[in-house]
């Protein structure tokens, strides 16, 4: 069952398992993403892992609250508060890209609240690629709000000036919503604040150690993959009980590029042999 709720500050969708067997999963999306990115995968994971799955909207994204503060530390505190407010017992945190850094930060800040981590295609290191790539999207969203497109196809043409990859544009278009009062599309994400926060999001300054099981997943074609190997010792200092798995023929959006391989890896991680 999929039910959107707003009990606390973070909006979320819950995918309830019929007979849950194990702690729930809390899934955090990447920059300019939302809980909607996990709608299909959330249902699949709930069914095949027999666990409740909560897909959240992080602050300044989707249906969650807006704030002038957008740091990994603040978002990690939001997650910890979400766990407490929903009385979730030692959940597994799953995060992609920016969401992965948020889950790692939360685990290092409050290790007692969490049982396990799954981090999708983001190492806990500085990566200037984030600033270079996502900085241009602020300009793209400003152009859309300035030109007020009345159709998504027109908005896509505006985006094409800044991003040639059609798949990435389709992802970015999920940030648009139609404003019936003015008859055009506006941006849902708080992109002005997000654009100013890129330096913080590109880095990783949280100290500490999370000794519980941690699974890092990277794509065989991802630009982030080499960083996992170059910073292996540093990663193991923070996450000593971690392993790295590579899904071939996948780029940064690993779970979208190779969904079945991703699900099989999650089953291997969370389902005891012979129970599925």
Per-residue pLDDT tens digits for 171-194: 899 999 998 888 899 999 999 999
Nearest residue to 193 via CA among 37, 58, 88: 58
Q: What is the mean pLDDT of residues 209-213?
A: 97
Per-residue pLDDT tens digits for 39-86: 999 999 999 999 999 999 999 999 999 999 999 999 999 999 999 999
Q: Which residues have a Cβ under 8 Å from the Cβ of 133 and sit 6 or more positions away? A: none
pLDDT for the residue numbered 111? 96
pTM above 0.75, yes or no: yes
Domain spans of the chain, in order of start: 2-127+204-270, 129-196
Over its C-alpha atoms, the chain yields an Rg (Å, rounded) of 18
* Top-confidence residue, 140 or 135: 140
Q: Per-residue b/e over 67-89, b at no fewer than 16 CB within 10 Å? A: eeebbbbbbbbbbbebbeebebe
pLDDT for the residue numbered 273? 54
Asked if residue 147 has pLDDT above 70, the reply is yes
Tell me which of 3.40.50.1820, 3.40.50.10490, 3.30.43.10, 3.30.450.20 is the CATH number of domain 2-127+204-270.
Answer: 3.40.50.1820
Kindly state the tokens that stand for 168: 């990435």
């Amino acid at each position: 069952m999929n039910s959107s709720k707003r009990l606390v500050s973070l909006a979320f969708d819950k995918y309830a398992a019929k007979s849950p067997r194990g702690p729930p999963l809390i899934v955090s999306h990447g920059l300019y993403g939302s809980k909607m990115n996990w709608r299909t995968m959330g249902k699949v994971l709930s069914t095949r892992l027999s666990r409740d799955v909560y897909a959240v909207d992080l602050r300044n994204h989707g249906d969650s609250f807006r704030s002038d503060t957008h740091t990994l530390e603040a978002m990690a505190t939001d997650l910890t508060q979400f766990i407490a407010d929903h009385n979730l017992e030692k959940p597994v945190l799953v995060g992609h890209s920016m969401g992965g850094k948020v889950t790692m930060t939360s685990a290092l800040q409050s290790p007692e609240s969490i049982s396990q981590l799954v981090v999708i295609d983001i190492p806990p290191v500085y990566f200037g690629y984030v600033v270079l790539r996502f900085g241009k999207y602020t300009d793209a969203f400003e152009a859309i709000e300035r030109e007020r497109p009345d159709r998504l196809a027109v908005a896509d043409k505006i985006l094409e000036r800044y991003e040639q990859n059609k798949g990435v544009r389709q992802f970015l278009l999920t940030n648009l919503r139609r404003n019936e009062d003015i008859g055009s599309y506006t941006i849902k994400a708080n992109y002005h604040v997000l654009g100013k926060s890129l330096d913080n999001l590109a880095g990783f300054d949280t100290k500490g150690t999370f000794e519980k099981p941690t699974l890092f997943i990277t794509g065989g074609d991802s630009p982030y993959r080499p960083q996992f190997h170059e910073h292996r010792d540093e990663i193991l200092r923070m996450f000593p009980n971690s392993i790295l798995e590579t899904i071939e023929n996948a780029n940064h959006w690993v779970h979208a590029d190779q969904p079945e391989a991703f699900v099989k890896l999650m089953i291997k991680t969370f389902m005891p042999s012979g129970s599925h």
